[in-house]
Amino acid sequence: MMNPEPNRRLCQLYHEGVVPYHIAWEWQQSVVARKKAHPETKDVLLLLEHPPVYTLGQGATTEFLNFDPADTRYEVCRVERGGEVTYHAPGQLVGYPILDLKHYQPDLHWYLRQLEEVVIRAIAPFGLQGERIAGLTGVWVDGHKIAAIGIKVSRWITMHGFAINVCPDLEGFRQIVPCGIRDRPVGSLAQFIPGISVSQVRHELVTAFAEVMNVSLIPANHSFLIEPASLA
C-alpha cells in the first residue's frame, strides 16, 4: 500500500477518527474545487466517523423524519448528495472518495456499483456475505442494510460516498425512515460479529478499495485539517 504500483492512479488516503460532519463536508468541497481548478490534484479517500447527525439529500423529503427538523436536539444537514435521509454516529465507518471519474469510468451507475463492491469485499474476510438488492443502492447482510451510499458528481468529480454500520448505536435510526425504505431493517456488522471494530473493517476496506478502483493508496502523513499541499 505504501509503494505505488505501475499503471495505477495515485489516491491520497486519510484516516481521521471522529470528525464533525460540517468540517468533513467543507473539506470535501474544498478538494473538489481544487481538482476543478487544478486537474492534476491527487484523488483522495477520506475515512472517518461522525458525531451523531442526520443528513438529507438535496431532493430528500422531510416526511421520512420522525421528528420536527426544527427540534434543536437533533443536528440535521441538507447536503448536495443524492438520496433520502440517513444517520451517522460513532461506530459507523464513513468513506468519502473524491475521484475524477474521467480517469476511471464516467458513469454514475458504474461508480455506485463499484462502491457496493468495495463494501462487499471489505466485509467478506469476516465471513459476511454482502448482498445487493435490485433497484436499491447499498449493501445488505441477511436482509439488514449495513451500508448506505449517496454521492454527488460534478464535472465527473465525486464527493460524499458510503457509510458502513460497524458497531454504532442503532437507536438513532429509529427517528427516521432510513433512505426512505420502510420495509427493510437497518443493521450493523456487530450484530453478526460481536466485538468487531471500526479499525478492523477500515483495514479491509482500504485493501478492497485499492483493488476495486485499481488505485495505489498513499497514506497521508498529516491530518486533512491541515491544508494538504501534498494533494497537488
Nearest to 94, CA basis, from 201, 195, 221, 212 = 201
Which strands sit side by side in the sheet containing 157-165, from one edge to the other?
A: 131-133, 136-141, 144-154, 157-165, 92-98, 43-49, 9-18, 215-219
Dist. CA 213–CA 9, nearest whole Å: 9
Catalytic residue (one of 11, 77, 167, 179):
179
- CA distance to 35, 115, 157, per residue, from 213 (Å): 18, 9, 15
Number of residues that this document lists for the chain: 232
Task: Assess contact for 210 and 1: CB atoms under 8 A.
Answer: yes
Dist. CA 27–CA 116, nearest whole Å: 24
Task: Assess contact for 38 and 68: CB atoms under 8 A.
Answer: no
Angle at 169 between CA 165 and CA 172, to 5 degrees: 95
Active site residue 167: no
Which residues are identified as catalytic?
179
